[in-house]
Every structure is written in C-alpha cells, then in structure tokens.
Homo-oligomer: A and B are copies of this chain.
Amino acid sequence: MTSEIYRNRVNNLLNTLLTRQNALNESMRYSVLAGGKRFRPILTYTTASLFDVEPSQVDACAVAVELIHIYSLIHDDLPAMDDDDMRHNQPTSHKIFGEAQAILVGDGLQALAFEVLASAENIIPSTRIKLLNLLARSAFDMADGQSIDLSVVSKNADLELLNRLHLKKTGALLGCAVKFGALLKSQINKKDIEILSSFSEKIGLAYQIQDDVLDILGSDECLGKRQNSDLKKGKPTYPSVIGIEESIKAYKGLYEEGIEGLGELSKSAKALIDLTNKIMHRDY
C-alpha cells in the first residue's frame, strides 16, 4: 500500500519535471513515463521514513535515482550493448527514436538527475553535496559494472566475478537509493549507515539474481521484455552457473540476511523489512 503511494508520488514528480520545452522532451517522456516498478525511489522513501524524514524532503533524491536508472536502461538496450527491442511492454527508445537520439536521451537524463538534486533548495547545501557525491560515485560504478559485464564472454564465469559485477552494475545504484534515505537525516549515526550499506549490498545482489531467475521463469508480459533475453545472449548468470534451484536459494538467503541485519538499526526497520519481503516475493 505504502509502495503504491510512493510510486504515484514519484510518477507525478517525473511527469511534472518533464514539461520543459526542449528537443529531448518527447524521447525523455517516452522512457521515463513508461511505467516501471520505481523500486529505487520506493526504497529511498521507505528508508527515509525510518528516520522520520518527510517525503517532500526525499523527492529530489527519489527522482534523481530513478532518472539514472532509466538512462542506464536506455543505454543498456542499445544494439551495441544488450540489443533489446522491448522494455516495459513497449519498444525500446532506439526502436522509436533511433540510436543517436537514444544515446542522447540517456546522456540528457544523467545530466538532469544531477540538476534535480543540485537544485533541491529544501535540502541544506552540505547534505546536498553528500547526496550528489554518492549519486555520482554510484552512477560511475554502475557504468563500470556494465563495462565488466560486457567484457565477460564466457557463460561459465565464476560466482566471485558475477558477484563483483552485480555489486557494481545493480548494487551501486540500489545502495545509493537506500543510503539516500539515511543521509537525508543530517544527524544520522555512522553505525546506521554501515548497517544500511551492508543491507543494500545484500539486497542489490539478491535483486539481480532474482532478476536472472525471473528472466527464465517469468512471462514476457509480466517482465515487460523478452523472456530469456539474457540467457539467449550467452551472458553468465547465477542460473547458468549454479542452476535455478540453487539461485532461488541464494537470493532468498541474501534477502533474509539483509532483513536480519536491519535488526541492529537504531530505529525500527519495520517498513523496510516489509518492503524487502514484498520484493522477495515479486514475480516480475
């Protein structure tokens, strides 16, 4: 229920943001407003709620992290990258606007993410700087993780390499989403940050393994993209290395470890635990 409220909230913010007149507007709206789970913004609002941070204080972070996520999907889908033609049940950006515009819309969205956060007047400058720094490092690590991913040609990569690349490719931005929620509380203690970092690493990895499992078990319609799209490309995934059953065990174990660690937080983590349980049982 709360996730639904946060999802609507970020959808409205994104819709309002993308009304400026510019050449990229139509192509930005096409990808940004196509739906999507809005998992990262929901994580940020939920984490912030543990520390009694008002949603209005969280908005810029929620929007920024989602814009970075969407730019990464547009670039990942390009023919030179993963070459996907469907995303969120609609043709991918380059299928509609061409490759050049899809590259530019991704570039523009990355810049816009930083602009939204840099101009969030309701966050004090010293906190905003911390948030911007984290967003920049996470966006870099995400690109770096994708670079590692593309360079792994063998389906039989070992788990250590898979973990390392997932932690960057998926984990960096998920970690950013979680830590955003905590850093917005200016008086946050160091131990809470460490607990949330560890939590976000675990669920970041779990989320990616679960994605790989759903890529095999889910339907095209639910996934919003072609089923088995990763497997068909011969990319190494958890299921290709240790099998489906073990992969399911692995991601459930990681989610549970993540939840367990939250017990040490100085605040009640109930809302975040409920959200994690919900994600663990998602089917898309």
List residues of A whose CB falls within 8 A of some B CB: 22-24, 27, 71-72, 75, 78, 80-81, 98-101, 103-108, 110-112, 114-115, 118-119, 125-126, 128-129, 132-133, 135-137, 139-140, 143-148, 150-151
Contacts and interface: CB of A to CB of B under 8 A. Distances in A.
A154 to B, nearest CB: 16
A118 B98 contact: no
B110 A111 contact: yes
Contacts of A115: 133, 136-137, 140
13 contacts: A80-B103, A81-B100, A104-B143, A104-B144, A107-B143, A110-B139, A114-B136, A115-B136, A118-B132, A119-B133, A125-B128, A129-B129, A132-B132
A118 B144 contact: no
A103 B100 CA distance: 11
A143 B100 contact: no
A101 B147 contact: yes
A115 B106 CA distance: 18
B104 A147 contact: yes
A111 B136 contact: yes
The count of identical subunits is 2
A150 to B, nearest CB: 5
A95 to B, nearest CB: 13
A266 to B, nearest CB: 26
A75 B75 CA distance: 12
Contacts of A135: 114
Listed from nearest, the 3 A-B pairs whose CB atoms lie closest are A80-B99, A115-B136, A111-B139
Contacts of A128: 125, 129
Nearest to A81: B100
Contacts of A81: 100, 103
Contacts of A151: 23
